[in-house]
Every structure is written in structure tokens, then in C-alpha cells.
């Protein structure tokens, strides 16, 4: 049965239908507009914390959308990772603020850090059927002691 009128018999044949109870599918062939983003680590610095005898490391940065589509830089999930034995290990995650800024405190370990904003799709804020795709972005920086 096609309960949303898009011409597809529903789940599992309707590509936009997620279950047999889903009658709120999006359009199967929605246009996607790609927005290129960058992420930049702007600070790696030691900070004193009240709860610890040792320093913590503040990792701060910003996600910027090249074309000015702010929704791709606001509330963007960011993973802060450390390179360990040839693998990237997530130390903390954050969500950017309204200016695209993220910041996390991690245990102070020297090494190569990476900030990664994962690719994601958003509904168009004007309510149209067009999807907005925010590109994946990453940046790395080395943290040394002494």
C-alpha cells in the first residue's frame, strides 16, 4: 500500500520509508545541496582544573561553512581524537555553539590531535523538500611538552 502518495509501495520498497509503521516518509528523490565546511583547531593549551592535581589540555576550534550556510556550522557534532599506535581514538565529543566554536578538556597527553566534523544532512530551514548536506571536515595539530 502506498500511504504517502509517492508512487512507491511502502516498506521495504519505498527508499524513504524506515518501517512498516512509517507513514511520514520524505520525498524519495529530494534534491541535495552540498555545503563545504572546514574545521580548524585554534588552541591546544594547558589549563588548571579544580578537580585534578595535573594540567588538562584545552582543545578549541571552529567549524566554518564556505558558502555561509550557518546551519552547517551551528550545533555541529565534533570529535576530538588522539593518534595512538597508528589509530585515531576519540577522546571527547562536543557540539559547536551558534558561532561554530567547540571546546573540550581532555587529559594532557603529548601527541597528534584531530578535530573531525562528520558529514550530516539537514532539512532545509525554509521547509522545502530540499536536503542540505554538510561536508565532512577535519584538521590536526601536534601537542608537545617542554
CA–CA gap between residue 127 and residue 57 (Å, rounded) = 41
Residue 67 in 3-state DSSP? coil
33-141 has which CATH code?
A: 2.60.40
CA–CA gap between residue 39 and residue 20 (Å, rounded) = 39
Range list for CATH 2.60.40 in the chain: 33-141
Point out the least confidently predicted range of 7-11, 115-119, 121-125. 7-11
Angle, CA 39 vertex, CA 33 and CA 45 arms, to 5°: 165
Point out the least confidently predicted range of 27-36, 38-47, 129-138. 27-36
pLDDT at residue 127, as a whole number: 72
Amino acid at each position: 500500500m502506498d500511504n504517502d502518495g509517492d508512487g512507491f509501495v511502502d516498506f521495504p520498497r519505498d527508499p524513504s520509508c524506515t518501517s512498516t509503521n512509517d507513514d511520514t516518509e520524505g520525498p524519495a528523490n529530494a534534491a541535495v545541496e552540498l555545503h563545504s565546511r572546514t574545521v580548524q583547531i585554534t588552541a591546544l593549551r594547558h589549563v588548571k582544573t579544580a578537580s585534578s592535581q595535573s594540567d588538562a589540555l584545552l582543545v578549541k576550534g571552529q567549524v566554518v561553512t564556505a558558502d555561509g550556510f550557518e546551519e552547517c556550522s551551528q550545533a555541529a557534532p565534533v570529535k576530538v581524537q588522539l593518534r595512538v599506535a597508528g589509530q585515531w581514538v576519540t577522546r571527547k565529543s562536543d557540539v559547536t555553539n551558534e558561532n561554530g566554536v567547540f571546546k573540550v578538556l581532555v587529559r594532557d597527553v603529548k601527541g597528534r590531535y584531530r578535530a573531525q566534523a562528520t558529514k550530516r544532512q539537514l532539512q532545509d530551514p525554509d521547509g522545502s523538500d530540499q536536503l542540505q548536506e554538510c561536508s565532512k571536515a577535519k584538521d590536526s595539530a601536534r601537542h608537545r611538552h617542554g
